Structure 1
Amino acid sequence: MRGSSLGMRLRWNVHVLPVVVPLTVLMAFMAVFVTTPALAEGYPSRPITVVAPAGPGSGWDLTARTVSQVLTETRLVPVAMPVENRAGGGGAVALSHVVQNRKGDPNTLIVFSPPLILIHLNKQTPFSYRDLTPLARLFNDYQIIGVRSDSRYKSLDELMAVLRQNPKGLVVGGASAPGSMDHLSFMMAAQQSGVDVRNVLYISFPGGSELNAALLGGSIDIVSTSVGDILGYIEAGSVRALAVTSPERLTDPRLSNVPTLKELGINATFEVWRGIFGPPGMPEEARTYMSNALAKMVQTPEWKEMLRRFNWHPGYLPGDQFKAYLDGQEKLMGNLLKEMGLLK
Structure 2
Amino acid sequence: MNMNIKSVMIGTALASVAFMPLSSAVAKDYPPKTMSFIAPAGAGGGWDLTIRTVAKTLKDTKLVESNMPITNRPGGGGAVNLAYMQTQMGKDNLISVYSPPILLTHLTGASKYSYQDTTPLARLITDYGAFVVSKDSKYTSIKEVMDALKKDPKSVKIGGTSSAGSMDHIQFLMVAKAAGVPKLNQIDYISFQDGGAVAQVLGGHVDLISTGLGDVVQLVKSGNLRALAQTADKRVGEGVIADIPTVKEQGIDTTFENWRGLFGPKDMPDYAVAYWGTTLKTMVETPEWAEARKRNGWDGAYQNGEDFTKFLAKTNDQYKEILDEIFAKK
SS at match of 1:105: coil
Structure 1: give runs of 5+ residues left out of the alignment.
1-11
Q: 2:39 aligns with which of 46, 49, 52?
A: 52
Amino acid at match of 2:132: G
1:154 maps to 2:144: no
Q: 2:278 aligns with which of 292, 296, 305?
A: 292
**Deviations 1:81-106 (CA, angstroms, capped at 9, x unpaired):** 3334433332223222323x332323
Q: Distance in 1 between matches of 2:318 and 2:21?
A: 51
Q: 1:126 aligns with which of 77, 99, 112?
A: 112
Aligned partners of 2:125 and 2:301 also within 8 Å: yes
Q: Distance in 2 between matches of 1:60 and 1:304?
A: 18
1:265 maps to 2:251: yes
**Deviations 1:192-215 (CA, angstroms, capped at 9, x unpaired):** 11212111112222355x322222
Aligned partners of 1:135 and 1:287 also within 8 Å: yes
Structure 2: give runs of 5+ residues left out of the alignment.
none
Q: Distance in 2 between matches of 1:108 and 1:80?
A: 12
Aligned partners of 2:237 and 2:295 also within 8 Å: no
Which residue number corresponds to residue 28 of structure 1? 15
Which residue number corresponds to residue 187 of structure 1? 173
**Deviations 1:153-203 (CA, angstroms, capped at 9, x unpaired):** 332222212211211122222222211222111111101112121111122
Residue 310 (structure 1) shift? 3.5
Which residue number corresponds to residue 94 of structure 1? 81
Residue 267 (structure 1) shift? 2.5
Moved more, 129-138 or 69-78: 69-78
Residue 231 (structure 1) shift? 2.9
Residue 293 (structure 1) shift? 0.4
Structure 1 residues 166 and 284, CA gap change in structure 2 (3 angstroms): same
Amino acid at match of 1:263: E
SS at match of 1:119: helix
Which residue number corresponds to residue 103 of structure 1? 89
Q: Distance in 2 between matches of 1:36 and 1:153?
A: 58
Q: 1:279 aligns with which of 241, 265, 288?
A: 265
Structure 1 residues 122 and 39, CA gap change in structure 2 (3 angstroms): same
RMSD after superposition: 3.1
| Greater C-alpha radius of gyration | 1
Q: Percent identity?
A: 41
Q: Distance in 1 between matches of 2:289 and 2:141?
A: 35
Aligned partners of 1:212 and 1:230 also within 8 Å: no
Structure 1 residues 13 and 258, CA gap change in structure 2 (3 angstroms): farther
Q: 1:69 aligns with which of 42, 46, 56?
A: 56
Q: Distance in 1 between matches of 2:158 and 2:122?
A: 33
Which residue number corresponds to residue 178 of structure 1? 164
Residue 13 (structure 1) shift? 8.7
SS at match of 2:211: strand
Q: Distance in 2 between matches of 1:89 and 1:108?
A: 20
Q: 2:232 aligns with which of 220, 234, 246?
A: 246
1:17 maps to 2:7: yes
Q: Distance in 1 between matches of 2:240 and 2:138?
A: 22
Aligned partners of 2:158 and 2:208 also within 8 Å: yes
Amino acid at match of 1:204: S
Structure 1 residues 236 and 281, CA gap change in structure 2 (3 angstroms): closer
Amino acid at match of 1:105: K
Amino acid at match of 1:94: N
SS at match of 2:216: helix
Q: Distance in 1 between matches of 2:237 and 2:37?
A: 31
Structure 1 residues 153 and 258, CA gap change in structure 2 (3 angstroms): same
Which residue number corresponds to residue 144 of structure 1? 130
Which residue number corresponds to residue 117 of structure 1? 103
**Deviations 1:60-97 (CA, angstroms, capped at 9, x unpaired):** 33332332232244232343333344333322232223
Structure 1 residues 102 and 263, CA gap change in structure 2 (3 angstroms): same
1:305 maps to 2:295: no
Structure 1 residues 146 and 83, CA gap change in structure 2 (3 angstroms): closer
Structure 1 residues 53 and 251, CA gap change in structure 2 (3 angstroms): closer
Normalising by structure 2, report the TM-score: 0.85
Structure 1 residues 114 and 74, CA gap change in structure 2 (3 angstroms): same
SS at match of 1:144: strand
